């Protein structure tokens, strides 16, 4: 990879659901020319979609260069790769089959370019997890898709905002299935991915990690559940013996309520809402979803399609801007 790419990574941005706020926040984030000093962006989607939203929101200071297959992305410009040529109807704020199909086409082309090394990392704008489902995409979300596509044995959904980093052991599964899917092997795997990512991707030499309990009051010594005694504590003790700075399990409510989270480089929650509710309460506007444990760099904003505000020029671009910054930082740290 040449020196220019080391200095300024080429970052792909998949447009997501064209009827959600993805196009709006992408345009707003990239309309600030200062971001072009950090990265060379390539939007995967359609110039027609961008033109539609640019006019709808009356954003005049957003320009782009249409990139052809086989051509190099132009530094100092916003590049757009057209992932389809035919007209796909835009119905702002509504879930449609066309919106899902467009999101998948953009994601597939961006993934292909990621595999070929044409782009150095990817930022994914929000998809609708329902309308994107096809024979080609049968995943609960982006995290599982990239994990399988890039042949990782396991990965970790890691929510990041400045010094706050929260990962989850179990992700997009029903609450009733959490305890049955919680195993020593899974907790150990997620902890090892978190420890390695904090070191490799965030530059923390000896990461200090907190582990949350599954049950209220972290099980109260077995009175309120046995998972802490049988699964979580043995894994923590084993990794401590190997020199890892891992502590817990902590009761999740008090841990965030009394600011204990500020003492740790990373936090591992047992399930989706246990980690994401406090994270989004503390960092909703600036939060980034990072898929740790992969050979490639993938980030995304921590919000969804937000159909209810699509096209109203109300969506904040802060989260996707932070996702771009984080992707850039991690790409550079990995190269170093």
* Beta pairing partners, 247: 210
Separation CA 96–CA 102 (nearest Å):
10
pLDDT-based confidence at residue 5 (cuts at 50, 70, 90): very low
Q: For residue range 152-190, what is the model confidence (pLDDT) as tens digits?
A: 999 999 999 988 999 999 988 899 999 999 999 999 999
The answer to whether residue 2 scores a pLDDT higher than 60 is no
pLDDT-based confidence at residue 255 (cuts at 50, 70, 90): very high
In 3D space, the residue among 3, 55, 54, 56 whose CA is nearest the CA of residue 30 turns out to be 54
The answer to whether residue 272 scores a pLDDT higher than 80 is yes
pLDDT at residue 7, as a whole number: 66
pLDDT at residue 234, as a whole number: 97
Judged by DSSP in three states, 116 sits in coil
pLDDT at residue 218, as a whole number: 82
pTM for the full predicted model: 0.92
Q: For residue range 45-55, what is the model confidence (pLDDT) as tens digits?
A: 999 999 999 99
pLDDT at residue 4, as a whole number: 46
Separation CA 102–CA 52 (nearest Å):
15
> Mean pLDDT, to the nearest integer, of 259-272?
96
In 3D space, the residue among 155, 139, 137 whose CA is nearest the CA of residue 147 turns out to be 155
> Mean pLDDT, to the nearest integer, of 103-120?
97
- Report in angstroms the alpha-carbon separations of 114 from 3, 14, 48, 265: 19, 11, 23, 29
Separation CA 11–CA 304 (nearest Å):
21
Instruction: Output the average pLDDT for the chain.
Output: 93
> Mean pLDDT, to the nearest integer, of 191-220?
94
Place of tokens 């084993």: 238
DSSP state of 230: I
Q: For residue range 290-328, what is the model confidence (pLDDT) as tens digits?
A: 999 999 999 999 999 999 999 999 999 999 999 999 999
Separation CA 209–CA 204 (nearest Å):
11
Helix ranges restricted to H, 172-271? 178-181, 184-200, 227, 233-241, 252-257
Here the tokens at position 254 are 């008090």
Q: For residue range 216-251, what is the model confidence (pLDDT) as tens digits?
A: 888 778 888 889 999 999 999 999 999 999 999 999
In 3D space, the residue among 110, 111, 89 whose CA is nearest the CA of residue 100 turns out to be 89
CB neighbour list of residue 308: distance below 8 Å, 6 or more residues apart: 93
């Amino acid at each position: 990879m040449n020196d220019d790419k080391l200095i300024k990574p080429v970052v792909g941005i998949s447009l997501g659901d064209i009827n959600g706020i993805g196009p709006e926040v992408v345009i707003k984030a990239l309309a600030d020319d200062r971001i072009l000093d950090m990265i060379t962006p390539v939007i995967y989607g359609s110039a027609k979609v961008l033109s539609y939203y640019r006019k709808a929101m009356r954003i005049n200071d957003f320009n782009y260069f249409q990139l052809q297959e086989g051509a190099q992305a132009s530094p100092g410009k916003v590049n757009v790769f057209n992932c389809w040529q035919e007209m796909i109807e835009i119905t702002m704020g509504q879930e449609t089959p066309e919106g899902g199909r467009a999101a998948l086409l953009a994601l597939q082309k961006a993934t292909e370019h990621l595999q070929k090394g044409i782009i150095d990392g990817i930022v994914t704008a929000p998809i609708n997890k329902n309308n994107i489902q096809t024979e080609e995409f049968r995943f609960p979300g982006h995290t599982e898709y990239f994990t399988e596509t890039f042949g990782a044995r396991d990965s970790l959904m890691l929510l990041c905002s400045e010094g706050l980093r929260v990962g989850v052991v179990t992700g997009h599964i029903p609450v009733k299935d959490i305890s049955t899917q919680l195993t020593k092997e899974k907790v150990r795997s997620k902890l090892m991915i978190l420890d390695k990512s904090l070191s490799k991707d965030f530059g923390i030499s000896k990461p200090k990690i907190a582990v949350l309990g599954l049950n209220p009051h972290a099980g109260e010594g077995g009175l309120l559940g046995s998972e802490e005694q049988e699964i979580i504590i043995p894994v923590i003790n084993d990794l401590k013996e190997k020199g890892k700075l891992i502590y817990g399990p902590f009761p999740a409510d008090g841990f965030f309520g009394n600011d204990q989270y500020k003492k740790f480089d990373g936090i591992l929650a047992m399930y989706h809402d246990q980690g994401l509710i406090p994270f989004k309460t503390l960092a909703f506007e600036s939060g980034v979803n990072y898929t740790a444990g992969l050979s490639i760099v993938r980030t995304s904003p921590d919000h969804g399609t937000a159909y209810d505000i699509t096209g109203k020029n109300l969506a904040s671009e802060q989260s996707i801007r932070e996702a771009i910054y984080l992707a850039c930082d991690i790409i550079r740290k990995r190269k170093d």
